[in-house]
Structure 1
Amino acid sequence: MAKYLISFPSAAMVVPDEEWEEVVRDSHAVIEEAKAAGVYIFGGGIDEGVPPMLVSATGAVALGGYPWATALNGGFTVLELPSRDEAIVWAARIAKACRCDQELRVFGYDPQS
């Protein structure tokens, strides 16, 4: 089975204030369903209040990520599923709960992971 990343950038979540409680409830419900189905690996949101750090091979540390890269933010879920078609179904369920489109990517197979 492959592991799939289902994610969205922070700017994609445009939800009226009065709907946030419902979005939180619905998104947590989908995650609980993924856990019950045994496909949930990990999920969460990037804490945008904590800036990234760039750590070199020498151990040198610099505040901030790659200066040329787009900022990484938003939320993500990693699921282990038997097919891309099933990943699309789960991504659609998460999109509906979060009220925003989700990006779907597959992790490359690594027998050591």
Structure 2
Amino acid sequence: MTKFLVSFPASAMDVPAEDMPAVAEASHAIIREAKAAGVYVFGGGINIEVAPVMVAADGSCTSDTYRQTREFDGGFCVLELPSRPDAVRWAAKLAAACRCAQELREFYYDPES
């Protein structure tokens, strides 16, 4: 089984405020379905109200980020699935529920993790 990251940036959700409760329920229904199917690993949304910090090897923290991730926000989930076509099917379900396209990435297999 392979783990896949399904995600979207917050800016991708161009949904009227009055539709957000329906979007939330639809996406939660897909997550419940993934849990029932035994493919859900974990997921959530990035809390943009808490600033990220850069942690160095010595444990020191600075209020910095990698340039590529300065605008890292939105929602994500990790699913463990037998194939990429299965991952595409789940990503499509989430895209329909969230009303925005989902980015799909495959995790590299590391037997130590």
- TM-score interval, smaller chain: over 0.9
Pairing of 1:4-19 with structure 2 (within 5 A): 4-19=4-19
Structure 2: distance between partners of 1:40 and 1:27:
13
Distance, in Å, in 2 between the alignment partners of 1:8 and 1:97 is 12
RMSD: 0.7
Where does residue 96 of structure 2 map in the other structure? 96
Identity of aligned residues (%): 57
Are the equivalent residues in 2 in contact too, given 1:51–1:64 (CA < 8 A)?
A: no
Report the Cα offset of residue 65 of structure 1.
1.3
Structure 1 partner of 2:51: 51
Q: Measure, in 2, the Cα distance between the counterparts of 1:94 and 1:69.
A: 25
Instruction: Report SS of the residue matched to 1:7.
Output: strand
Q: Map of 1:20-35 to 2, 5 A cutoff? A: 20-35=20-35
Structure 1 residues 4-63: Cα deviation after superposition (integer angstroms, max 9, x where no partner): 000000100110111111001100000000000000000000000000000001111101
Secondary structure (helix, strand or coil) at the match of 1:4 reads: strand
- Structure 1 gap segments, 5+ residues each: none
CA–CA distance in 2 between the matches of 1:64 and 1:32? 35
Q: Deviation string for 1:46-105 (max 9, x for gaps)?
A: 000000000001111101312x22321110000000000000000000000000000000
Normalised by the size of structure 1, how large is the TM-score? 0.96
TM superposition outliers: structure 1 runs of 4+ over 3 Å: none
Q: Which residue of 2 aligns with 1:69?
A: 68
Q: Secondary structure at the residue paired with 1:5?
A: strand
Aligned length: 112
CA distance in structure 2 between the aligned counterparts of 1:26 and 1:64, rounded to whole angstroms: 35
Query: TM-score if structure 2 supplies the norm length?
Result: 0.96
